[in-house]
Structure 1
Amino acid sequence: MKQFSFIRILIIIAVIGIIATAGYLYPNHGVSLSEEFTLHKNEAVVIADTGLEVKITEFYNSPCPSGAQCIWSGIGIGFEYRFKSQVQKGVDLLQAFGYQITVIKTDYETYATLIVKKME
């Protein structure tokens, strides 16, 4: 009987640990459309009632030196979107699967604050 109780306690502790770890790894597990949220590199969020997942895969912060001619500004955000088993990826890709993503604020190194809206 004591062994059964001990196993039961271990299972409860394991379940609590899994739930706590999931919250740590995916702190933004769900937000609503038009709700502001912040992501860091390799963090993802699921937009509630849409099934759209937004993930930041990379930050780019190598601005073009003054006086040089560059074909790209050197700053940007790598995004990955998942929707109904489809994936779209791109740097500064702000439209995907009928949704518009707006970058509210970013330092192009560690975080980006975003809003997702349904395109009209």
Structure 2
Amino acid sequence: QRTRKATEAIFLLAGHAFDDLGYRRLEWKCDSLNEPSRRAAERFGFVYEGVFRQHMVVKGRNRDTAWFSMTDGEWPVRRTAFKAWLSPENFDENGRQRRSLAAVRASIG
């Protein structure tokens, strides 16, 4: 939920999946109408792949599922961005970020 801890949790999860377990791909799936979740996926560096239309029924309605992914080939750059964003130098004395994760990612390439 746009917190330092949530960002660190995704960083640790991805690091474990790619670095420790050797996964080739990490997926993020959410209701296509869930804009906060879609924005979070993109903020963390997941790439939008598309929508599975009528993927499932939830509470009596069809749910379209948005799919995002991050691959092992993308991970090294994402890892560098996460580490730079999470560094203590990126936060002021009140714990507010100095640069957004998107800005850090853009500066890395």
State whether TM-score is above 0.5.
no
Q: TM bucket by the smaller chain? A: under 0.3
User: TM-score scaled by structure 2?
Assistant: 0.25
Choose between structure 1 and 2 for higher RCO, CA contacts under 8 A separated by at least 6 residues: 2
Q: Which has the larger radius of gyration?
A: 1
User: TM-score scaled by structure 1?
Assistant: 0.23
Structure (1/2) with the larger helix percentage: 2
Structure (1/2) with the larger strand percentage: 1
